């Protein structure tokens, strides 16, 4: 999951007016703007497809013969949102003076997910 998000976010990496991966591509002009719009729409589409897939495997009955059915898909949805947030924040805040912010987000997220795990424990048959 994360390599797809990393690829979709990497188009925004610019240094000294040029893209960090393709140094012949001038940032925020012509085709780069098109790529940024395309990759933003693709990231949003990826997120929507993930949400639909997680909700389709939700099961309302307590006992079911399908091994992939879960009583509640909330925890997995929140976890994926958290992973997307961490990748995006980590991509844009890579300067050494902002590492404290990434660490703080990880600590707060870990505490929150420990509490949420007890509330939304995934159920597999």
pLDDT, tens only, 6-54: 888 888 888 889 998 889 999 999 999 999 999 999 988 988 888 787 7
| Residue pair 5/46 in contact by the 8 Å Cβ criterion | yes
Burial of 102 (0-12, 13-18, 19+ CB in 10 A): middle
What ranges do the domains of the chain cover? 1-46, 57-125
Distance, in Å, from the CA atom of 2 to the CA atom of 121, rounded to the nearest integer, reads 23
Question: What pTM was computed for the model?
Answer: 0.68
| Helical axes 31-56 vs 2-10, angle rounded to 10° | 160
pLDDT, tens only, 95-121: 788 888 888 988 998 898 888 777 766
């Amino acid at each position: 999951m994360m390599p797809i998000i990393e690829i979709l976010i990497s188009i925004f990496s610019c240094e000294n007016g040029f893209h960090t991966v393709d140094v012949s591509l001038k940032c925020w002009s012509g085709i780069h703007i098109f790529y940024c719009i395309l990759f933003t729409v693709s990231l949003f589409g990826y997120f929507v497809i993930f949400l639909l897939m997680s909700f389709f495997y939700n099961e309302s009955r307590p006992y079911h013969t399908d091994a992939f059915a879960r009583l509640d898909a909330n925890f997995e949805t929140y976890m994926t949102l958290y992973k997307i947030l961490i990748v995006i924040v980590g991509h844009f805040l890579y300067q050494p003076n902002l590492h404290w912010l990434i660490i703080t987000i990880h600590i707060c997220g870990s505490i929150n997910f420990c509490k949420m795990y007890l509330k939304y424990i995934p159920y597999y048959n």
